[in-house]
């Protein structure tokens, strides 16, 4: 160590382990603390993520070794465009500019802000966001989610590290279900706080059953792919299905895989006891899509595993009993009518603010004059969200701000699928297919809910996307060399 500068000495610190420990801590903490919905919870996560990013940048700048960013160049362009629109929403603009790019905003400010026009007829400058404070809060949140993706995509370079993150997520998922079952049937409390809603459902440490199911759905699909990858790796020398099963059961890690399988079953049970209709539907469709993709990719065993889980899910519904499900089915019509009314009003809002929206995170402020009369006591709470992440995105960001997000989603999904078809390693194939399943699950669930506005679910979603990219770029040693 003598003769080395301070920066060179610092560069020798185990930054990789520190970054991995930080990611594991976030994976464990975010869902457990009420979905990281409290201000202190998501603020703590933001501080940790930005600190880890600084460590990552410092390590690479000192060592002079940087990841290859070219493969995701288009993604970074789309992300940059999105954040430029958010920043533009926060810049005060004169009334003449507002009249051109968002005349509805100008009309709204005239009505809502008495001092917007002075006695001399001079207009004050005003930014496009209806709620600049919330837009700044969401800007920091989205930068945090991007940071989580970056750390997982470029910081987790080893199979073992990725495996540790997946196992932590599975452990948290099982804890959520078991704690939720205790809370549902023994005491209606979450860490001492009385539950005031969804008393008939398992919600774990989440307040909303749909967000609880959203978290579990992502982890279930990822875990299914991971388990398939391990199964394929352990049985690569066997030729018949009988030999593969015997080889898998005789594996030194057979007990571990049995526990992992049990964890997936527990989480599936948790989704159905949550009574989240969209959670169940999204889980069915995402597992079905995983099986279909595996079949097209000539990975028949994965197709059988996905179909097997579908059959098990049907069995859970039957065993759970019909009373609770019948009650939920009876409310489908009224719930659908309420959602449709909200969506129609949101579309009307989008029509008035088509280009730049009402501001990121400012949906509630802009929606007040459009809110329909749903005729129920919960409508004040319902108006906080559009219950459709896509509509709320367009309402807040406008068409100009939403297009980069749509382009980024399509680009990532196509990239993952193409690289998955090219990879031959069983672990990478399994985890990546699970990542595609989790990707699909959240895209489906977001059609009728606002999962991605819950910090924990958004963090886990970004984490899974980062893991999927990382596992598709791991350089594996050959089996012969391992031997």
Q: Are residues 114 and 36 in the same domain?
A: no
Please, which residues bridge with residue 194 across strands?
189
Q: Are residues 114 and 233 in the same domain?
A: no
Q: Are residues 454 and 476 in the same domain?
A: yes
Give the three-state DSSP class for 208: coil
Q: Are residues 243 and 318 in the same domain?
A: yes
Q: Are residues 200 and 231 in the same domain?
A: yes
Q: Are residues 388 and 306 in the same domain?
A: yes
In a domain, 428, yes or no: yes
Count of structural domains within the chain? 2
Q: Are residues 103 and 208 in the same domain?
A: no
Q: Are residues 55 and 112 in the same domain?
A: no
Q: Are residues 120 and 196 in the same domain?
A: no
Can you count the helices (H) and strands (E) in the chain?
Answer: 21, 2
Q: For 300-353, what is each residue's pLDDT tens digit?
A: 455 455 555 555 555 555 455 555 555 655 565 567 777 888 888 899 999 999
Q: Are residues 113 and 196 in the same domain?
A: no
Q: 3-state SS of the chain: helix, strand, coil percent to 5?
A: 75, 0, 25
**Final residue in a domain of this structure, among 103, 126, 149:** 126
Q: Are residues 73 and 99 in the same domain?
A: no
Mean pLDDT, consecutive 10-residue segments, the chain of 483 residues?
Answer: 58 77 95 94 96 88 78 94 96 89 87 70 80 95 97 91 95 95 86 85 92 96 88 62 61 76 90 89 87 66 54 54 56 70 89 92 86 58 77 94 96 93 85 94 93 95 96 69 43
In a domain, 467, yes or no: yes
For residue 260, the enclosing domain spans 6-91+135-333+376-482
In a domain, 250, yes or no: yes
In a domain, 284, yes or no: yes
CA dihedral 127, 129, 134, 135 (to 10 degrees): -90
Q: For 46-84, what is each residue's pLDDT tens digit?
A: 999 999 999 888 877 777 778 788 899 999 999 999 999
pTM for this model (two decimals): 0.89
In a domain, 363, yes or no: no
In a domain, 367, yes or no: no
Please, which residues bridge with residue 189 across strands?
194
Q: Are residues 111 and 189 in the same domain?
A: no
**Final residue in a domain of this structure, among 105, 126, 147:** 126
């Amino acid at each position: 160590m003598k003769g080395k500068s301070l920066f060179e000495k610092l560069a020798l610190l185990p930054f990789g382990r520190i970054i991995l420990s930080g990611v594991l801590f976030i994976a464990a903490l975010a869902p457990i603390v009420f979905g990281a919905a409290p201000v202190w919870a998501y603020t703590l996560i933001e501080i940790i993520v930005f600190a880890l990013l600084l460590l990552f940048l410092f390590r690479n700048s000192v060592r002079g070794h940087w990841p290859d960013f070219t493969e995701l160049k288009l993604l970074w362009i789309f992300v940059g465009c999105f954040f430029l629109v958010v920043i533009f929403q926060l810049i005060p603009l004169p009334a003449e500019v507002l009249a051109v790019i968002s005349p509805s905003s100008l009309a709204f400010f005239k009505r809502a802000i008495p001092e917007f026009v002075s006695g001399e007829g001079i207009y004050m400058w005003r930014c496009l966001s209806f709620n600049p404070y919330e837009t700044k809060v969401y800007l920091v949140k989205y930068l945090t989610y991007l940071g989580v993706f970056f750390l997982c995509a470029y910081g987790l370079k080893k199979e073992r590290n990725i495996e540790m993150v997946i196992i932590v997520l599975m452990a948290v998922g099982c804890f959520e279900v078991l704690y939720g079952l205790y809370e549902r049937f023994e005491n209606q409390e979450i860490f001492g706080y009385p539950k005031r809603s969804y008393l008939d459902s398992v919600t774990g440490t989440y307040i909303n059953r749909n967000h609880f199911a959203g978290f579990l759905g992502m982890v279930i699909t990822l875990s299914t792919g991971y388990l398939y990858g391990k199964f394929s790796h352990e049985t690569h020398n066997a030729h018949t299905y009988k030999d593969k099963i015997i080889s898998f059961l005789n594996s030194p890690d057979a007990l571990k895989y049995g526990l992992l399988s049990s964890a997936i079953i527990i989480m599936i049970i948790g989704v159905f006891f949550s009574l989240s209709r969209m959670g169940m539907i999204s889980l069915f469709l995402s597992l079905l899509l995983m099986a279909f993709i595996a079949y097209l990719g000539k990975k028949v065993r994965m197709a059988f595993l996905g179909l097997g889980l579908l059959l098990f899910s049907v069995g859970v519904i039957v065993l759970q009993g019909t009373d609770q499900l019948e009650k939920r089915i009876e409310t489908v019509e009224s719930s659908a009518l309420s959602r449709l009314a909200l969506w129609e009003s949101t579309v009307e809002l989008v029509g008035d603010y088509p280009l730049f929206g009402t501001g990121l995170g400012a949906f509630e402020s802009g929606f007040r004059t459009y809110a329909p009369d749903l005729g129920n006591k919960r409508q004040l709470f319902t108006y906080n969200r559009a219950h459709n992440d896509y509509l709320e995105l367009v309402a807040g960001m406008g068409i100009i701000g939403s297009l980069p997000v749509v382009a980024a989603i399509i680009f990532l999904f196509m990239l993952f699928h193409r690289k998955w078809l090219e990879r031959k390693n069983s672990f990478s194939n399994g985890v990546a297919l699970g990542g595609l399943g989790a990707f699909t699950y959240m895209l489906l669930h977001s059609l009728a809910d606002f999962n991605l506005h819950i910090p924990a679910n958004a963090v886990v979603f970004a984490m899974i996307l980062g893991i999927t990219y990382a596992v598709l770029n791991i350089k594996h040693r050959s089996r012969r060399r391992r031997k």
